[in-house]
Every structure is written in C-alpha cells, then in structure tokens.
A and B are shown apart, each in its own frame.
Chain A
C-alpha cells in the first residue's frame, strides 16, 4: 500500500470512527423507573437520594448499603416519573432532585462518575 493510499484510507476511517454508542434518549423519558430494557438493574443504579450539591452539581444516592456520588452535567437529562399517578412523564430540573426521593441513574460510562440520565419519582 503506498503512502497516499494509506493516508486516504486513514482519512476515511477517521470520518467514521469517532462515534461513541449513544442510544436515542427521547422515548426513554416515558419508561418508568426500573423498566428500561437492557439497562435497568444492569447499567443503572436505583436508590434514594441522600444529598444534592447544586453548586457542585453532584448527587449522592444510596442503594442498599452502598452510596454512589455522581456528577450532573448540562447534558444530563432529568425526567420526573409520574407513572404511579398514571400521569405523563415530564422533563425535570436539578431542583426536582430532592433528598429522600427514589431515583434511577444511568451513567455515561462504566466508571459511574457522570449521570447520563436521571429518573426521579414524582413527589407525593
């Protein structure tokens, strides 16, 4: 393979290579806590909010005997699960993450440091 051909193929490969798996999140909003196919109970943590640091944009949740601290970025989607009230799920905000509420958190990767999405049970 000559140098030009090698570089050309490299350029094409770069065009295709950098995508990271990023499933469509839109319909995820309507899936109740614990029922997301392929991730609930496997790639998510379901627990109770212990603390939220709005300034640092972090949340600590307890699941059984373990506590997890995760970062909430501008890209973290927050949804309010109102399925128990037989109401539509809505988009939430950081302020909706309140101590004592049940949540499910999916992380951006296996390090479990940053939340990709958070589903929080509706109050009351």
Chain B
C-alpha cells in the first residue's frame, strides 16, 4: 500500500513537471467551443432579470439536467425553484408546491394564459441530454414533452424564450422589460449550442456485445418485433421511429399514460386537469423520449406517474397502453398487443440500465478528457462527470448487474473528485479516472 502511494506521488510529480513544461502552450481558439462555454454560463447563471431562476434551476448538471423529488428535497428553502412559496406575487397559479415537492411536477400553461386557475398541466422536467438525436422530426422540431414547447419558430433555439416567460417571471402579468427580459439573439444562439453539446451526438448501433446474460436477453426482447416491439418507436434505444420504411425521426404518440389508474398526483388528493398533449386544443399525443438515458432520469412519462424503470417497461404490458391509439395501432400492425412477463420486463429494464451505464461512462470520459474546465467557476463539468459515474454505479447496483464493473467505477469517481479539488495534479487524477472508467466499460461489454 505504501509503495503504491509513493508511486502515485511520483507519478503526480511527473505530471506537475509535464504541466509546467507545457504551460506556454495555448490551445487555438475554437469559436464553437467558445459559444458552448458562453451558453453554459448563461444556462447556469443568467436569471434574465426575473424571479431568480436560471435554466439550471430545473436542469441541474449534477442531476442529469432534470429534477425529481429526492433532488428537490435536498434544496434549501430559498432555492429559486420554490419562488411560489416565498414570492407573494407568485403564490397562486404559478406552481403547485405540493406536487412539485412530492413528484417533481412543474406547472405549464400550454393552452394559454386566459384562465390560470383552470387551464394548466403538471409535467415532469425532461432532461436535456442527447437533444441532437431527438429534436429533429420531418414535421418540424420537437421540444418539451408534447413536442410543441417553443414559441416563435418552435425550435430548440426559441425554447429558452418560452421558458423565461413561463418560469422566470416575477409576476403573472409577464411583461417583458418589467417581469423579466427576453433573451437576445446572441444568448439564444449560445444556449442552443450548449444544449446541443450535452450528451450523445448519435444513437448506439444495436445489438451490442453485452456481457450480462440478463441484459443481453433484454436487448433481444427489445429488438424483437413480435415480443418487446420497443424498437419500432425507439430505434436503437433512441427517440426516433422506424416502422420499416426508413427513419421517421422523432414522433408523437398517444400511448394512454393519461388513462393510467392510480396516478400518484391523484392519490395525493390533487386533481390536475387532463393533459391533452400536442397542440391547442391538444390531440392527446406526446413525443418520444430517448431511452439510453432513461435509467437515471426517472420518474417516467410526461407526468412523472411511474417511479421506476421496471414499472415504466411494465406500462407497455398494461391495459392503458394496449387500449390506447398507439397500442391499438401496434397490435393491428403486428398481430398482437405487447405481452411481456415479469422476467422479460426485468430483462428489458436491465438492458436499459447497462446501456445507461455505458453512456454514463462515455460521457464521463468525454467530459474529463476534453472538457476539464479552465473557465468554469461553478465546476459544472466536473459535477456532471462525477454525477455520471455515480449514476452508472447506482443503475447497475439497483439491479445487481455486472458487479465486476462497480470497483473500477468507485475508483473512477474517487479519482474524478481528486481532480476536481486539485490544481497542479489535476492532469494526473484525470488520467487515473479515465483509465478506471475504461476498465469499467470492459466489464460491461465485449
């Protein structure tokens, strides 16, 4: 142990020497990287002269750019997320604090602002990872849970303007220049660039040579067009559909989530209005989220009605889905509805867990290797990488998957924390973290 520690110190010293020797080398300016960095600063720091919220309030880097009840419970009482609890002008019809704290639900006036007391929906916060793979659709860009979350041209770039108006306002009058300021064109460009930089840039190519027998079976069921049928709407576990005639891009479906019995918000005694999805009035459809990131971004569906990944997979075996327009169309097209048993539900969920862990590892390596921040006072890149590693550990451990990957993941997280705290020895600890992550990956996949 003592020898190992000495070796570590020697290596750290060598790394310091290398760093000092190379400190005159300044990387060339990269306009796109600069735009992403600017977008990152705006995303996490800019309040747009509103109620104190930033984009990062609901999309924190260290919680996969989403929020859930457990994350919310750790926030201080004066966090801007809770403005409805301490700003009198926002006390009514801005949020439902009870549903926010219990289920991570946010109030949205998707069908207009003329009847604030009755015309609203309660939705979960979708993560902003892998947007490059999920926003595009032949029918136009898809943003938000129903795909129509942005004003203006409906693009991801315009989404921030709508978010500021809906969520950042000081009062319900929502007057630009008084209750908030609108983002400038330059800010919208930077925010879009930053969001498109998050997570994967492409979908995995299935099948993958997985080592876990259960996850491997889950992958086969996922891809099986007569059993799991998942790959019709989630090609390669992403957010795009292909029914055999080529990619249809990101699509909306009415899968019957609104018809689920015993939805948590209702069990808690609240009766939020029915969410009619896309359009005004809505057509009942919601857009398809990517599944690679699913295991560590629950709860699931637009209303956070399902808490666990296994229950989310089981939803497609239930009556709500199989009696829905999407379920009936699938049954008509394939000859039957989706019928999967407990072991098969677990296998599919295990596959998605391993897929998520692999993406966590890829993301953490990318962040630690290429984005170790020099201009990021909040250290959000480190927080994101350390969070990714922690999520990989959690999603595997929760289902007893690939135990041999856990030790290197634990090491990687420890090394990444050392790198975050270090300055002169940062490069050394980053190298150690990346090496441990590669070891963990090798334990998951051939």
Contacts and interface: CB of A to CB of B under 8 A. Distances in A.
Interface stretch (A1-9, A45-53, A65-73): A1-9
Contacts of B31: none
B151 A13 contact: no
Contacts of A8: 332-335
A16 interface: yes
B112 interface: yes
A13 B245 contact: yes
B182 A21 contact: no
B149 A24 contact: yes
14 contacts: A13-B243, A13-B245, A16-B241, A16-B248, A16-B252, A20-B139, A23-B154, A24-B146, A30-B176, A31-B151, A38-B157, A83-B176, A88-B174, A88-B175
Nearest to A83: B176
A56 interface: no
Interface in A1-51: 1, 5-13, 15-17, 19-32, 35-40, 42-43
Contact of A23 (B152, B173, B245, B335): B152
Contacts of A37: 151-153, 155, 157-158, 161, 183, 185, 188
Contacts of A1: 244
Interface in B148-178: 148-155, 157-158, 161-162, 165-166, 173-178
Contacts, number: 144
The binding surface of chain A is classed by DSSP as: loop
A7 B279 CA distance: 29
B176 A12 contact: no
Contacts of B151: 23-28, 31, 36-37
A110 interface: no
A23 B159 CA distance: 10
Interface residues of B, number: 56
B211 to A, nearest CB: 33
Contacts of B158: 23, 37-38
Q: Can you list the 6 inter-chain pairs with the closest CB atoms, starting with the nearest?
A: A21-B140, A23-B154, A38-B153, A8-B333, A37-B152, A88-B173
A27 B161 CA distance: 8
Nearest to A24: B148
A86 to B, nearest CB: 5
B49 to A, nearest CB: 14
B111 interface: yes
